[in-house]
Structures are given as C-alpha cells and as structure tokens.
Structure 1
Amino acid sequence: MQINASIEAYNRQESIPFSGAVWVGGLLETLLEQSYGYANRGEQIRNTTQTRFGMASGCKIFTAVAICQLVEQGRLALDTRLKDCLPIPFPVFDPEITVHHLLTHSSGIPDYFDEEFMNDYGDLWKSRPMYAMTSAECFLPMFQHNPMKFTPGERFSYSNAGFILLGLIVEHIAGTTFQQYVEDHIFNVCGMKDSGYFRLDQLPERTAWGYIDSGSTWRTNMYSIPIVGGPDGGAFTTVHDMRIFWTALMDNRLLSKHMTEIMLTPHIQDNEFIHYGYGVWIVMVSNKIFKYFVMGSDPGVEMQSSIYAESKLQAHILANINSGAGAIATRIDELILAENS
C-alpha cells in the first residue's frame, strides 16, 4: 500500500502540512512508521514516532473499558440506572437513564459541549478558567441542572457529559480518581508506558504541544482545553502505545472475551455506515464490520486510531494540529478497501 505517498500527496495539496506521527501495520509487520512536523515550534524540536500526542475524545474508549471491568466484577450492571449508582442530584434528568445509555450516547442528557450546536471547544474557557478544570466533578455545574434533550434510548447524540458521568461512576465505585484507575487497570496492564493524563503545565519529555492556526501565525492550545484530561477526553499517548492498547483489548487481556464482544457490538447507529459500541466507533461495509476506531478533535489536536476487523491491520494517526489525521485515515481506508476488492 502506498500510504506514505498518500501522505506526501496530502501535504502537497493542503496549505497546512500534516504534523504528527503515523504507524500502520499488523501483528508481525510494520507498513509505515513515520513522523512529520514539530512537537515544539519555538525550539524547532521535531515530532518522532515516540512523541506523545493529545488524544482529545479518542480516550473515551478507556472510560468504556473501565466501566466494563466494573461490570465484570459485579460492582455495576449495564442496566443500572444513573440515579442508583451516583449520589449526585440531577433534578431534571429522566430517572430511567442507564449505564448502557451513557456508554452509547443515547441517554438524552444535556451536554456541556453539544457538537450538534457548537463548533469551537476553546470558546468554553473564555468565561471560565481552564486551569480550574482539574476533575470530572468540575464539569457538573455546566450541565447538571439543564433539561433533557430527548427520552433515553430514543436516538444517538454524541455526549461528552455522558462520559463525565461514567468517569464519576468509576470514581464512586472504585474509590480512587478516574485518572489513577485508568493508569492502574488499563495503562499498566497493557504496558502503555508513554500514556497518561498529563497536566498541561507539567508535560513530560517527548510530549508535543498542540498548535492552533490563528491565520498569520501559530499559538499553542494551552488556554483552549482543560488543564488535565478526564473521562471524556484529554489523555496523551503515542502511536506505539495505541498499537499496544488495541492488541491487549483484542487479546482479551483487559476484559473477558464475552465482555469485549459486548463492548465492540454495534449498539446504535449514527449514520448509514457509522455505528457505535461502548466508547468505540464501528464502520460497517456491506453489512459487515470493516473497522473499529476511536477519534478525537480539540483545538490543536486531531487523531484517529483504528483496527481492521478482517486483516487485523492497525492504523494510528496522531496530530498536534487541527487537521490531517481524519483525511489520512480515510485514505488508508480506501487503500485497504481497494486491496480487498
């Protein structure tokens, strides 16, 4: 597959070249391992395939895994109602909202950043300090008392707030912070040594700044996203750690085979081709699963990480700008479909 040629063609066509890292391959082979652009423009430090990049919403899959682990332990059920697993009042929420509804973006709760009506995540932090958003609980005042959008289970509507609630459920049941739970029960189990929920003012070595194109110049995303990530997004990872994660998930090292299958089931439909499991997007082609993937987009961040159902090939594209990852992922999809046709 001419993956690198496709990325080079993309860079020739676009006014903003891709900046990030790409890894494509299978269990025993690497088809492409390449980095582009700068992790730190001021110091002219280039990205590498060992660079840690922001994930934005791509890390919702970690929240889903955490919930499914608690379900397997019998400490929670997928049909447990929200009001029965969190000692937090939601005076105008429907009492029939379940964990399953939250996992599949079908709860109908109001979102603190509703992508059906809002398009600039950075605008949220113009009226409230991003440095104060240090835990999932900090987000509650942004949606806790707002009215429902629709009846639970009625339809798909992407909800960051729903995953904030899932993170709070993890904290309440496990008795630890959400970030610590993921580190202990997902990152450490997989061996994801370069991943974490790093504070923007305490970034470790080999971490890329996210860059926002402001027209004539660039600026970092320091003031455009919360100071630290949580259950709805904001972790950092590398292309190699995403390969490690998908391999562990598919080998049933994070969940049992049965629970992994439930998590990867197309539970709800977004459009003709795109379905959603628990924390994971699913592409269907000719009524068959083509790939599982996670994606994320924040100011200065774009990523897509995929595993293809039949070939077991993986493709991980992490960017520290707002463009490129989705377009490159689409081109890889086209190349794989062409090879299999």
Structure 2
Amino acid sequence: MKELDQLITNISDEMNFSGVVYVKQGERILSDLSFGYADRAEERLNTSSTRFGIASGCKLFTAIGISQLVEEGLLDFNTRLADCLSVHLPHFDKAITIHHLLTHTSGIPDYFDEEVMKDYEDLWQTFPVYQIHSLNDFLPLFQEEPMKFTPGERFHYNNAGYILLGLIIEEQTGRRFTEYIESEVFHKCDMDESGYFSLDQLPSNTAAGYIDNHKENTWRTNIYSLPKKGGSDGGVFVTAPDMMKLWEALFDYQLLNEETTRKLLYPHVQINGEVYYGYGIYMNQKNNHVHKYHIMGYDPGVSFRSSIYPNLDLKIVIPSNVEAEPFKLTKAIEGYLIS
C-alpha cells in the first residue's frame, strides 16, 4: 500500500505529527508508519512498539471492566450508584445508575468540566498533580458539588463519572482498579506491552508527552500537567499493535459474552447527527446501522484516535505524544480506503 503510506506521510509532515499510524484489515497490515521522537533529548525515535499515553481513550477499558462484573452477577447496568459504592456524595441524585455513568448522562458535577474550563492544566493549580495517587484522591474535586441536571436528561461528557466507575470496580472486587484492568482485560488480550505507568517511573520504550510553545519555539514534557498515574478516566499507555489486539478480542467475544458485548456497543444516547455513545465508546450510525466505532483521548502532550469499521474488518490506531490531531489522519485514511 505505497500510495496509502505516501498519503499518511504527506499529511504527517504537514502536521509535524509525532506518533504512529497503524492500519489493519483482516489479518493484513496495510500501514505501519512511525514519526517523530519518543524522547527528544536523546533523539530516540517512535516505533510501532513504542508505548503511548492515550488519555480518555481508555474509558472503554473501564466500561469493559464494569461489564465483566455485570456478567459475574455482582452488578447490573441499572444498579444505583448509591447501592454499589459506599462513598459520601451528599448532593448526588439517588436515581443515578451505572448506565448513567457509563453513558455520560448522570448529571453529576465533573472535576474537569469543559463547559467551564478550557485548559486541563489549570485544574492542578489548586490540586497539585503530585497529590493524586489513587482514584479516591479525585473525590475532593467534585464530591461536594451540586448536580448539573437530572439523570438521563442529556449527554454531557464527564470524567468524574468514570472515576466513580473505577471506584465501583475496586469496591466490588477488592482489587486496585489498575491491577484489575491489567489482569482481566490486558492479560486476556495478550496486551503485554500496555499498562498504567507512573509518569515519574516510565518503563523502557515509552514515549514522553510533549507540549510545544510554537510562539517561543520551545517545548516541555507533560510530567507536571497530568496526574502521575492514570486510572479509570484516562492515562493508560498502550502500543498500537496492543490496541489492535483489544479491538479483535472485544469483537471476537473474548472479553465479554455476545449479549454483554452488544449492550456495550449499543447506541444508547445520541450526541449529535449520526454520532452516538455506547458504554465507553463512540459510534457513527446511519439508517439504524452502526458503520464505525471509535475512541479518542486528548491531554496536554497526548492525542489519540482509534476506529474499527466492522463491515470492512478495518481498524485504525493513531497514538501521538504531541497535541496533534489524529482526526485529520483518520479522515484521510477513511477517504482513501472507504470512500
């Protein structure tokens, strides 16, 4: 696929992209291209085996974890938050369910509300990132705040809801959230290179996230811009091939049975136009048919998109360690392979 590789390379050069573009159809790898540095100071290049942070892209992993507990009979998607988590949430509506949290329709306050704040780094001026060691450490950022709207009223993207889902997994299993996902999701997919790593203890072959100041022609890493270790709302590290394994395992019913997988992938709430949201995953639906599932994540020094087109058995994974826009690359690949 030399033409596809050239198209991707041209766009990546225009964007000054740093990361990986990995495209697979069936068992055939159509494109496996890497750009930029994983470590600029040491001039260590990105490769397809480099581990990248994917920010909110890992909300899907949290949704899979919750769905596994539903299959085990520990929970139901309609279980109320108040009945499965013993955390003091004085102003939260008692009608909030796991379904509401999974679909961003709970109406709870968010610790980073994009309707109020634009810059994620501003959050840590009041709550230093070095004080965030666990999911419980996020609670003071939102647990005393009032509801934003009635549960089920509308979609409003919400990180705090996924923090609560992670805490539910911890309380119901007695295991640390990150250990649970690594064991029950990554291990089952053979995602051997992926994990929840501390920014101050990154393993080998991991990309640092870079924040560029184009006006001053300077850059810095994102170590002081994010919680030092990811959790249930974001911050995991994966390789592009590992993300492919996740898609394949999910759609082959290796992580969940067929019935539960269909619930996870169902278009539960419309966001706008043909874009819907399931459990931890976006989807595009036309004429009552879903033709694309996708996840994304953006943090300071991180940008990520990954899509699967089930009718074509086509998968795209684009992780980046700069604040680029993988959407532009995704659309170009779609235009070449689908349109």
2:78 paired residue number: 79
* Maintained 8 Å contact 1:37/1:46: yes
- Which stretch shows the higher mean deviation, 283-292 or 91-100? 283-292
SS in 1 for 2:263: helix
2:21 paired residue number: 22
2:6 paired residue number: 5
What displacement does 1:203 show? 0.3
SS in 1 for 2:338: helix
Matches within 5 A, 1:305-320: 305-320=306-321
Rounded to whole Å, the distance in 1 between the matches of 2:4 and 2:275 is 23
Rounded to whole Å, the distance in 1 between the matches of 2:281 and 2:12 is 29
- Which stretch shows the higher mean deviation, 210-219 or 32-41? 210-219
What displacement does 1:12 show? 4.4
SS in 2 for 1:291: strand
- Which stretch shows the higher mean deviation, 260-269 or 110-119? 110-119
2:190 paired residue number: 191
SS in 2 for 1:198: coil
Letter in 2 for 1:83: A
Letter in 2 for 1:59: C
- Which stretch shows the higher mean deviation, 296-305 or 119-128? 119-128
1:141 paired residue number: 140
* Maintained 8 Å contact 1:210/1:221: yes
The Cα offsets for residues 56-86 of structure 1, whole Å up to 9 and x where unpaired, read as 0000000000000000000001111011111
2:101 paired residue number: 102
The total of aligned residue pairs comes to 336
- Which stretch shows the higher mean deviation, 282-291 or 50-59? 282-291
What displacement does 1:309 show? 2.0
Letter in 2 for 1:112: Y
TM-score, normalised to structure 2, is 0.97
1:328 paired residue number: 329
* Maintained 8 Å contact 2:8/2:333: no
Identity of aligned residues (%): 50
Letter in 1 for 2:176: T
1:33 paired residue number: 32
The Cα offsets for residues 224-279 of structure 1, whole Å up to 9 and x where unpaired, read as 01000000000000000000111001110100011001100000011102100000
**1:232 and 2:230 correspond:** no
Letter in 2 for 1:64: A
Letter in 2 for 1:117: V
* Maintained 8 Å contact 1:57/1:296: yes
What displacement does 1:305 show? 1.1
* Maintained 8 Å contact 1:24/1:315: yes
The Cα offsets for residues 103-126 of structure 1, whole Å up to 9 and x where unpaired, read as 000000000001223221111112
What displacement does 1:142 show? 0.4
Gaps of 5+ in 1: none
**1:276 and 2:277 correspond:** yes
TM-score, normalised to structure 1, is 0.96
The Cα offsets for residues 136-158 of structure 1, whole Å up to 9 and x where unpaired, read as 11000000011111100000000
SS in 2 for 1:21: strand
- Which stretch shows the higher mean deviation, 129-138 or 163-172? 129-138
* Maintained 8 Å contact 1:302/1:319: yes
Rounded to whole Å, the distance in 1 between the matches of 2:8 and 2:112 is 32
* Maintained 8 Å contact 1:296/1:303: yes
What displacement does 1:312 show? 1.3
Rounded to whole Å, the distance in 2 between the matches of 1:74 and 1:8 is 48
* Maintained 8 Å contact 1:56/1:296: yes
What displacement does 1:88 show? 0.9
Letter in 1 for 2:24: G
Rounded to whole Å, the distance in 1 between the matches of 2:14 and 2:21 is 19
SS in 1 for 2:7: helix
1:49 paired residue number: 48
* Maintained 8 Å contact 2:210/2:322: yes
- Which stretch shows the higher mean deviation, 278-287 or 152-161? 278-287
2:211 paired residue number: 212
Rounded to whole Å, the distance in 2 between the matches of 1:47 and 1:65 is 29
- 1:226 and 1:239, CA in 2 relative to 1: closer, same or farther beyond 3 A? same
Rounded to whole Å, the distance in 2 between the matches of 1:28 and 1:294 is 21
2:246 paired residue number: 245
Rounded to whole Å, the distance in 2 between the matches of 1:67 and 1:100 is 10
Q: CA RMSD in A?
A: 1.2
Letter in 2 for 1:243: M
Gaps of 5+ in 2: none
Letter in 2 for 1:208: A
Letter in 1 for 2:264: M
* Maintained 8 Å contact 2:108/2:148: yes
1:132 paired residue number: 131
Rounded to whole Å, the distance in 1 between the matches of 2:325 and 2:138 is 30
* Maintained 8 Å contact 1:302/1:326: no
- Which stretch shows the higher mean deviation, 165-174 or 284-293? 284-293
The Cα offsets for residues 163-213 of structure 1, whole Å up to 9 and x where unpaired, read as 000000000000010000001100111110010000001100100000001
What displacement does 1:8 show? 2.5
Rounded to whole Å, the distance in 1 between the matches of 2:10 and 2:202 is 33
